[in-house]
Amino acid sequence: MGCTIGIDLGTTNSCMAISEGGDPVVIQTGEGPRVMPSVVAFTPAGDRLVGIVAKRQAITNPKDTITSIKRLMGRKYDELEMGSDAVSYDIVPNEKGDAVVRISDGRTFTPQEISSMILQKMKYRAEEFLGEEVTDVVVTVPAHFNEVQRKATKAACTIAGLNVKRVLNEPTAAALAFMEPVEKKRIAVYDFGGGTFDISILQMVDGVFEVKATTGNTQLGGDDFDSRLVEWIMNEFERTTGIDLWKDPVAPQRVREAAERAKCELSTAMETTINLPFIASGGSGPVHLEMSVTRKLFEDLIMDLVESSRPLCEQVVRDAGMTIDDLDTVVLVGGSTRIPLVRKLVEETFRREPVYSVNPDEVVAMGAAIAGAVVTGQRKDLVLLDVTSLTLGVETLGGVMAPIIEKNSPLPIKRSRMFTTAVDNQQVVSIHVLQGERALAEENRSLAKFDLVGISPAPRGVPRIEVSFSIDANGILFVSAKDAVTGKKQEMKINPSGGLSDDEINRLIQEANKNKEADRERTKLIEVRNRADHSIYEAAKLLASNKTTLDEDSVHELESALDDLRRARDGDDKDAIENAMKELGMVVHTVRNILNMVETFEDDTGGLGNLDGGTLGEALGETLIE
């Protein structure tokens, strides 16, 4: 039986953890960092890259490098408000009107498919780390995700071969990782990530974690800060040089990466420099981009975005039936909370210094791992009580939404409401299930439609139709409609998958299973090639800087090993590449020893001229023999 891991599928980075003895342990990605960039790329050679290797080649392959896919999960194309500078790849509507990604060769991918590729890579890494099969997962989502977005996330996990044990709100997960179950506290979790913002109020008493209220904005995050800085850099460059970098196919991605680095640096420094040589060509030759950005300028650019979180914080406290003074702790989650302006706003709003003792990039995954331990029975000292993030209801006469389950209602829950017919002798009633906070039905998200048939003919207003909504602990919605006179009943499980039908999900699962081993071997080959490229680069740099110092035999041996690895790297034999890397590594090790001994001789004798005319190789050889 496989184990249950916790996954934070983030907009910018993703992270996974496992519970060991009831305590969360972050699982290494295998590529160095403990978090993995949520990036997928398709190369001209037909390779699919995921994670850090995909992010590294984004500058040279911007059109086919997919970032921030979480912002498209479960969304219609006409709902999008992303600016033209938000992403470098094409977003188009499919035949259902859903937002999908189109790459250069014309293929399209749903957000669920792209997300499943990230999840597959994480599953593979987790299995390597744990030495056993991974089958079950607790996956987190922004608290303000609607039903469609949650089910789209679940569908992505299913395609990746993961059985979702629970879909958990990110702030709830963070609270689990921060707090001890024996504590009695009321806390606010301020979660500002790369693409989404959530604010939740939780109460913890004797191991019971109860969410009192939650709200947020699924289209507000650190990506928007990057976009503001990118726009300023582009405009400033055009003002001083007259060159519009938006027209360049590569420059915008270079600027975006530089802006992201500058944003991170300004969290600790008061000023940083952006330097991008050869960014464009002008009348007199190459043009370089070099400009300074102060923290004050950056804060001015993003002030309104950060401030937009303040009223949401104030609202959620009221929704929880509390005041600011009732709160014991404010916890910061998400990479964007490292920004001093964000921390200042939180401190001003809640009138206390926030807590950020756990890495904000890892805390959600750690909490998901703890939730996994609760679900599997490893931990029996915790109980999780979550709430609905948005109001659920049905459409009534005149296109008005009638709420049945209000937002912030505790889960699990069941609620019913009586309705009647709109015309005389009506025998069919259409049930249109909606989710949202707007009064008009058309302004809310449609989840499903079905008909209740067989109603007894009667004047309008006489029949009594009971509509019941039921949501279980996993957030799965069931809807039923019953005629009180005839007893006729129609019910259905509302399980929208964000644009994918069950048949489409099953097809993608079969494709993933069919190509599972081939994908793994291809992934291993790509990773070996990346290591080979690094070895070639380092060895070539060593040779270029020391060619005049080394004897001819050493130079020849190093050049020969380099050529062997270059040839192997261009092939498809992983073992051959690894063997060539080992051979080059041995030669590089020998050469470095020779160079170290050269330095020793220079220090001891005052220069190589004191070797009495013998060759360097001979002198070093004699020394090694002794």
Annotated catalytic residues are: 8, 70, 170, 191
Point out which residues pair with 394 in neighbouring strands. 402, 433
Cβ neighbors of 177 (< 8 A, separation 6 or more) are 24, 358, 363, 364, 366, 367, 370
Dihedral of CA 235/284/274/68: which sign? Answer: positive
**Which 8-state DSSP code applies to residue 248?**
S
* Residues 369, 7: Cα–Cα separation, whole Å: 8
Cα atoms in the Cβ-side hemisphere of radius 13 Å centred on 300: 6
* Residues 457, 26: Cα–Cα separation, whole Å: 62
Beta carbons within 10 angstroms of residue 420's beta carbon: 16
At 626 the three-state DSSP class reads coil
Tell me phi and psi for residue 589, to 5 degrees: -60, -45
Cβ neighbors of 504 (< 8 A, separation 6 or more) are none
User: Residue 290 class from Cβ within 10 Å (0-12 exposed, 13-18 middle, 19+ buried)?
Assistant: exposed
Each residue of 129-138: b (16+ CB within 10 Å) or e?
A: beeeebbbbb
Find out whether 155 and 115 touch, Cβ atoms under 8 Å. no
Token digits of residue 450: 């079905």
* Residues 521, 461: Cα–Cα separation, whole Å: 66
* Residues 427, 488: Cα–Cα separation, whole Å: 11
**Which 8-state DSSP code applies to residue 334?**
S
Beta carbons within 10 angstroms of residue 190's beta carbon: 29
* Residues 335, 193: Cα–Cα separation, whole Å: 5
* Residues 247, 415: Cα–Cα separation, whole Å: 55
DSSP letters spanning 433-460: EEESS-SBGGGSEEEEEEEEE-PPP--T
**Which 8-state DSSP code applies to residue 106?**
S
Closest CA to 584 of 608, 566, 571, 570: 566
Closest CA to 413 of 437, 433, 389: 389
Closest CA to 86 of 218, 194, 226: 226
* Residues 481, 399: Cα–Cα separation, whole Å: 19
At 300 the three-state DSSP class reads helix
The H or E element containing residue 12 is: none
